[in-house]
Amino acid sequence: MSVTKFASRAIALGLVLFGLSACGINDVPTQDEQVKAAWSEVQNQYQRRADLIPNLVATVKGYAKQEETVLREVTEARAHATQMTIPSDILTNPQKFHEFEQNQAAISGALGRLLAVSENYPDLKSNQNFLALQAQLEGTENRITVARKDYIDAVQRYNTTLRTIPSRWVAAIFYPDAKPREVFTTSEKNQSTPTVQF
């Protein structure tokens, strides 16, 4: 093989590799990994919240003995959410994703009722442990909101890549198993205007 043929083949190979990298061949796996990382952070923040709940319930129990129903709801919601086995295909399985969403919404609702109950107990509201736990939960809820937003943004980029040309063609050829990911939604109940009573 002559040097010119070898050089022309090397240049052709270089152009093909450059063309493949320029056409977004790595966008699908890169964005898929970003979605997975964002999902891991969502799960991390939900786990942080689940870890804080037993401490909050124990603190409130000492003050609010007659509020057993609310305390039981919080404990049951946490147990139900933490016992759910998260399947590996949850990001592409709408039914399992929705079930996960519902479990986490149940915890949020039960915590909201628990914190509202605390208004009836002035001693509890001034208890340092309760205040610290309440601040931790509020911070965790904010972190969950940010993690969910980051996940939604990553899914939007990934799903757009799978649906637009030419990346759609690249995905069909090189990543035929790539499927759109699920995004968080909110129930109609959460979209209604809250009622404020004085």
Q: Which domain holds residue 66?
A: 26-183
Over range 37-50, report the average pLDDT: 92
pLDDT in tens, 125-139: 667 777 888 888 889
Peptide bond connecting 166 to the previous residue in cis, omega within 30 degrees of 0 = yes
For 118, residues 6+ apart whose C-beta sits below 8 A from its C-beta are 60, 64, 124, 125, 130, 134
Q: Does a structural domain hold residue 12?
A: no
CA distance 184 to 190: 13
Q: Does a structural domain hold residue 80?
A: yes
Q: Does a structural domain hold residue 63?
A: yes
pLDDT in tens, 64-113: 666 778 888 888 888 888 888 888 899 999 999 999 998 898 888 888 88
Q: Does a structural domain hold residue 49?
A: yes
Q: Does a structural domain hold residue 3?
A: no
Q: Does a structural domain hold residue 15?
A: no
DSSP helix/strand/coil, 25: coil
Quote the number of domains for the chain: 1
Q: Does a structural domain hold residue 123?
A: yes
CATH of the domain at 127: 1.20.1440.20
Q: Does a structural domain hold residue 130?
A: yes
- Closest by CA to 167, choosing from 22, 38, 35, is 22
User: pLDDT category, 40, cuts 50, 70, 90?
Assistant: very high
Over range 114-121, report the average pLDDT: 78
